[in-house]
Chain A
Amino acid sequence: MLVSEKSRNQTNQKEIGRGDLMDLWFSEFHTPSVKLAIKVSKQLYSGKSDFQQIDVFESPEFGRFLTLDGYMMLTQKDEFIYHEMMVHVPMCVHPDARKALVIGAGDGGVVRELVRYDSIEHIDVVEIDEEVVEVAKKYLPFTACGFDDPRVKFHFEDGLKYVRHHEDEYDLILVDSTDPFGPGEGLFTKEFYGNCYTALKEDGIMVNQNESPFYANDARAMQRAHKRIHANFPICRVYQAHIPTYPSGHWLFGFASKKYHPVRDMHAADWKSLGIETKYYNTNLHRGAFALPNYVQKLLEAMEELPGNDTTTTLNGGAKHASADEKKNGGKS
């Protein structure tokens, strides 16, 4: 029998096999017919908040990992890739980012990377589920370590609601959402991206978790997110990273801005002079991350050509970058 998309939810299963040793595995369906399984040595936490099921496991290969509603959020071994790529890319582009808004991100990884910049003066963290933060503080100190920084302020509420009440305020908005279903679904909507546009200053940048291009369901979510951001921002680019525990391992981020181009406007030398030590990110990789495979480019371009999207540019298309800033539709007011 086919398992529907929704039933991916029910995959937080423990398979007990035969043998002398305990054979405990966490598995997650990446499609109805593909699953990733990680050997678990111990379950450290299991609880249900008002919003979702929260679990923390210990594993031999990936160290500790956090799942929400049975979906992999981060592992100790590969979280650096996601968090570095979400933070350092925009920080290398924006010369003077002082005030940042982080939405989602209850695990703390994004904040940990952000507080490494002395230029950042204030970080608002909007997380709908306070229990995720509590669990992270207790079980995931490797990501939650930035939460104690005095520049960080928590707001436990719906990100969509929070951002609606702010205008022309932020240099940087980082949308570290879960998936476009469940409590995070509001963070994939056109109204949310539009509200983010309004909350950003005129040279502000928004970076979002943009799903994956590989499996059909994820690709659709990726396309929808891109279509909606593209309809709101004059500059809208997508970049990639390799995250082993996410479906297909091939993951995308969205870079949207009113003014800065992610590659042409990067300040590589300045960034290097900060001396921030990274495990994944570097400025060469920054440039390369925006060069996408043809099939991904095609999926994204299809969303830009839809009626209603004023497209005078194509995405990540080398020479065509020049026309990016001429696009006007994000500036409607």
Chain B
Amino acid sequence: MNSDFRKNQDRAPIAEALEAYSSERVVPFDVPGHKHGRGNPELTAFLGERTMTLDVNSMKPLDNLCHPVSVIKEAEELAAEAFGAKAAFFMVGGTTSAVQAMVFTVAARGDKIIVPRNVHRSVINAMVLCGAVPVYVDPGAHEELGIALGMQLSDIEAAIRDNPDAKAIFVNNPTYYGICSDLRGIVKLAHANGMQVVVDEAHGTHLSFSDRLPVSAMEAGADMASVSMHKSGGSLTQSAFLLVGSAKSSEGSGSDAKSTVTPDENRAPSIDPAYVRQIINLTQTTSGSYLFLSSLDLSRKRLALHGKELFDKVIDMAEYAREEINSIGGYYAIGSELVNGKEIYDFDKTKLVIHTLPVGLAGIEVYDLLRDEYDIQMEFGDFGNCLAYLSVGDRIRDVERLVGALSEIRRLFGKDPIISLPNNYIAPVVVLSPQEAFYADAEHIPFEKTVGRIAAESIMCYPPGIPVLAPGEKITEEVLEYLRYAQEKGCQITGAEDESLHTLKVVREKSGY
């Protein structure tokens, strides 16, 4: 980072423009109708006068989110610079809207995208909207912990070989649990085969601001990334960045680790930010909230100026918590020791994942006990683990409370260790695109009679949180066998309309299918 960078990053054009606007005491004959809160005293008392004053509409001095020309444009340029991207877009419809925009940008109807099987629901939903077709790669699962991992290069290579016409590879990086794939390797492989790489970096905002963390999507040369600023970056819920990478076609992907290999060739088309803007405007609101926009602006400033120190603290806090939790006995707070260069290529050390089965409690049980008995709200609990989300807002004394409570839970509620549940990967057979399956005529038929039919619903099995069926996939004997087995073993099976699984929803048969 040079001094010019820091100097520019000291600015927050949107926040500054709002500040100036509120000091001008402009008479508002425009929307929103609450008119700086005067029209809704109860809401104003609830949210605060300042908040209401800043809740304004696009206007000349405040720019326009759909076609930025002034302060929003400047703020987006600063964000792009901060993340090492060619372009950045302010998103106000959650990271989901950024993920959708990525899918819409790289694939049209019928186009294939290579995705890990445990891809977020928002990606499949985006495919329902645009008609793209998924090509699934097994992310692998950790036997003991029961969590999905990252895609391996060899599996992606195979997927590319079988689907040379695929347009892009979609990567979750890091996962909810902090597992990272070999992003540089994936980018190199994809680009050499003319495919773009888009990254769901919802849980990795901080990666761009620390050299103690895994490589970020932009640094690895990815073409696009969705960044949940509101998760680890400190902005308001529902605000996010969509980034476009600066990798140029037929040039190195920025990988320094691979310098012995011949220069990477990027045969993938480069992404035009102007086109991305059009894509975003297909679905994004035309009245983007200035509360979200200014929160993104100020959070970007804070991360650019102080991100390194801030995330150093978060990493240290997480490492401390891991050490203390692991010394309680029973619990296993997972860490970098899991990294194996393959399906766990790297680990995001800010993630605090606590494996609870050895103390005889399911992750979700510990989650509930912490909430109900100790007033501690965790981010997430699954069968074998619960997850604490550490961020720039945490304090060491709160970590002490978590550790203290975990030790108490073990003393008061601990039982004999629970054995992990099975997690075999079943390679899906995609017959219809998610879009075709979504809009197809469907019927419920008895479970046993579904072999050979096409699923019209998705069925998810926890652990390890990898779908067993998605709409458009062929139901095989292997699938039914796995579902029976998982149900018998007490896995949590979600997604089916008939929760008992006596029937499954399948596409009605007609000529052609």
Interface residues of A (CB under 8 A from B): 158, 160-161, 164, 183, 185-186, 189-192, 194-195, 198, 308, 332-333
* Given contact pairs A190-B373, A194-B412, A332-B412, A164 touches B397 in the complex (Cβ within 8 A): no
Q: How far is the CA of A175 from the CA of B324 in the complex (A)?
A: 23
Contact A160 B407, beta carbon cutoff 8 Å? no
Contact A194 B403, beta carbon cutoff 8 Å? no
Contact B404 A160, beta carbon cutoff 8 Å? yes
Q: For residue A183, which residues in chain B have a CB less than 8 angstroms away from its CB?
A: 397
Best-buried of A192, A194, A332 by chain B (most CB within 10 Å): A194
**Contacts between the two chains (Cβ within 8 Å), count:** 50
Contact A189 B374, beta carbon cutoff 8 Å? yes
B411 at the interface (CB under 8 A from A): yes
B108 at the interface (CB under 8 A from A): no
Contact A190 B397, beta carbon cutoff 8 Å? no
Q: Which DSSP category, helix, strand, loop or mixed, fits chain B's interface?
A: helix
* Given contact pairs A189-B374, A190-B374, A191-B374, A160 touches B408 in the complex (Cβ within 8 A): no
Q: For residue B397, which residues in chain A have a CB less than 8 angstroms away from its CB?
A: 158, 160, 183, 185-186
> Nearest 5 A-B pairs (CB), nearest first?
A191-B404, A191-B405, A194-B408, A160-B400, A191-B408
- The distance from the CB of A3 to the nearest CB of chain B, in whole angstroms, is 15
Q: How far is the CA of A158 from the CA of B403 in the complex (A)?
A: 12
* Given contact pairs A164-B407, A195-B407, A189 touches B412 in the complex (Cβ within 8 A): no
Q: How far is the CA of A191 from the CA of B404 in the complex (A)?
A: 5
Contact B404 A164, beta carbon cutoff 8 Å? yes
Q: For residue A161, which residues in chain B have a CB less than 8 angstroms away from its CB?
A: 324, 400, 403-404
Contact among A186, A194, A308 for B400, CB-based, below 8 A: A186
* Closest Cβ neighbor of A163 among chain B residues: B404
Q: For residue B411, which residues in chain A have a CB less than 8 angstroms away from its CB?
A: 194, 198, 332-333
Best-buried of B373, B397, B412 by chain A (most CB within 10 Å): B397
Known pairs A161-B400, A191-B374 / 16 extra A-B pairs, C-beta < 8 Å:
A158-B396, A158-B400, A160-B400, A161-B403, A161-B404, A164-B403, A164-B404, A164-B407, A186-B397, A189-B401, A190-B373, A190-B374, A191-B401, A191-B408, A195-B407, A333-B412
* Closest Cβ neighbor of A190 among chain B residues: B374
Question: Interface size on B (CB < 8 Å)?
Answer: 15
B309 at the interface (CB under 8 A from A): no
B509 at the interface (CB under 8 A from A): no
Q: How far is the CA of A132 from the CA of B453 in the complex (A)?
A: 73
- The distance from the CB of B452 to the nearest CB of chain A, in whole angstroms, is 52
Q: How far is the CA of A189 from the CA of B408 in the complex (A)?
A: 11
Q: How far is the CA of A185 from the CA of B412 in the complex (A)?
A: 22
Best-buried of B324, B374, B400, B405 by chain A (most CB within 10 Å): B400
- The distance from the CB of A11 to the nearest CB of chain B, in whole angstroms, is 21
Contact among A185, A186, A332 for B404, CB-based, below 8 A: A186
Q: How far is the CA of A6 from the CA of B396 in the complex (A)?
A: 21
Q: How far is the CA of A191 from the CA of B408 in the complex (A)?
A: 6
CB-defined A-B contacts under 8 Å, sample of 22: A158-B396, A160-B400, A160-B401, A161-B324, A161-B403, A161-B404, A164-B403, A164-B404, A186-B401, A186-B404, A189-B374, A189-B404, A189-B405, A190-B373, A190-B374, A191-B408, A194-B412, A195-B404, A195-B407, A308-B373, A332-B412, A333-B411
B478 at the interface (CB under 8 A from A): no
B497 at the interface (CB under 8 A from A): no
* Closest Cβ neighbor of A159 among chain B residues: B400
Q: For residue A194, which residues in chain B have a CB less than 8 angstroms away from its CB?
A: 404, 408, 411-412
Q: How far is the CA of A186 from the CA of B399 in the complex (A)?
A: 10
Contact B408 A190, beta carbon cutoff 8 Å? yes
Q: For residue B396, which residues in chain A have a CB less than 8 angstroms away from its CB?
A: 158
Best-buried of A158, A185, A198, A333 by chain B (most CB within 10 Å): A158
Q: For residue B374, which residues in chain A have a CB less than 8 angstroms away from its CB?
A: 189-191
Q: How far is the CA of A165 from the CA of B407 in the complex (A)?
A: 10
Q: For residue A185, which residues in chain B have a CB less than 8 angstroms away from its CB?
A: 397
- The distance from the CB of B319 to the nearest CB of chain A, in whole angstroms, is 15
B375 at the interface (CB under 8 A from A): yes
Q: For residue B407, which residues in chain A have a CB less than 8 angstroms away from its CB?
A: 164, 191, 195
Q: How far is the CA of A160 from the CA of B404 in the complex (A)?
A: 7
Q: For residue B373, which residues in chain A have a CB less than 8 angstroms away from its CB?
A: 190, 308
Residue interface mask B455-478, A partner, CB < 8 A = 1: 000000000000000000000000
Contact B405 A190, beta carbon cutoff 8 Å? yes
Q: For residue A333, which residues in chain B have a CB less than 8 angstroms away from its CB?
A: 411-412
* Closest Cβ neighbor of B373 among chain A residues: A190
Contact B375 A189, beta carbon cutoff 8 Å? yes
Q: For residue A164, which residues in chain B have a CB less than 8 angstroms away from its CB?
A: 403-404, 407
Q: For residue A195, which residues in chain B have a CB less than 8 angstroms away from its CB?
A: 404, 407-408
Residue interface mask B265-291, A partner, CB < 8 A = 1: 000000000000000000000000000
Q: How far is the CA of A164 from the CA of B324 in the complex (A)?
A: 10
* Closest Cβ neighbor of A157 among chain B residues: B400
- The distance from the CB of A40 to the nearest CB of chain B, in whole angstroms, is 31
Q: For residue B324, which residues in chain A have a CB less than 8 angstroms away from its CB?
A: 161
- The distance from the CB of B145 to the nearest CB of chain A, in whole angstroms, is 25
Q: How far is the CA of A166 from the CA of B401 in the complex (A)?
A: 16
Q: How far is the CA of A160 from the CA of B403 in the complex (A)?
A: 9
Q: For residue A160, which residues in chain B have a CB less than 8 angstroms away from its CB?
A: 397, 400-401, 404
* Closest Cβ neighbor of A158 among chain B residues: B400
* Closest Cβ neighbor of A195 among chain B residues: B404
Q: How far is the CA of A184 from the CA of B341 in the complex (A)?
A: 44
* Closest Cβ neighbor of A189 among chain B residues: B401
- The distance from the CB of A130 to the nearest CB of chain B, in whole angstroms, is 16
- The distance from the CB of A332 to the nearest CB of chain B, in whole angstroms, is 5
- Which residues of B97-123 are within 8 A (CB) of A? none
Q: How far is the CA of A78 from the CA of B12 in the complex (A)?
A: 53
Q: How far is the CA of A194 from the CA of B408 in the complex (A)?
A: 6
Q: How far is the CA of A195 from the CA of B407 in the complex (A)?
A: 8
- The distance from the CB of B323 to the nearest CB of chain A, in whole angstroms, is 12
Q: How far is the CA of A192 from the CA of B375 in the complex (A)?
A: 13
Q: For residue B403, which residues in chain A have a CB less than 8 angstroms away from its CB?
A: 161, 164
Q: For residue B375, which residues in chain A have a CB less than 8 angstroms away from its CB?
A: 189-190
- The distance from the CB of B194 to the nearest CB of chain A, in whole angstroms, is 55
Q: How far is the CA of A158 from the CA of B375 in the complex (A)?
A: 19
Q: How far is the CA of A155 from the CA of B407 in the complex (A)?
A: 21
Q: How far is the CA of A212 from the CA of B396 in the complex (A)?
A: 28
Q: How far is the CA of A308 from the CA of B369 in the complex (A)?
A: 12
Best-buried of B375, B396, B401, B404 by chain A (most CB within 10 Å): B404
- The distance from the CB of A78 to the nearest CB of chain B, in whole angstroms, is 29
- The distance from the CB of B304 to the nearest CB of chain A, in whole angstroms, is 26
Residue interface mask B385-422, A partner, CB < 8 A = 1: 00000000000110011011101100110000000000
Q: For residue B404, which residues in chain A have a CB less than 8 angstroms away from its CB?
A: 160-161, 164, 186, 189, 191-192, 194-195
Q: How far is the CA of A308 from the CA of B413 in the complex (A)?
A: 13
Q: For residue A189, which residues in chain B have a CB less than 8 angstroms away from its CB?
A: 374-375, 401, 404-405
Q: How far is the CA of A158 from the CA of B412 in the complex (A)?
A: 23
Q: How far is the CA of A183 from the CA of B400 in the complex (A)?
A: 12
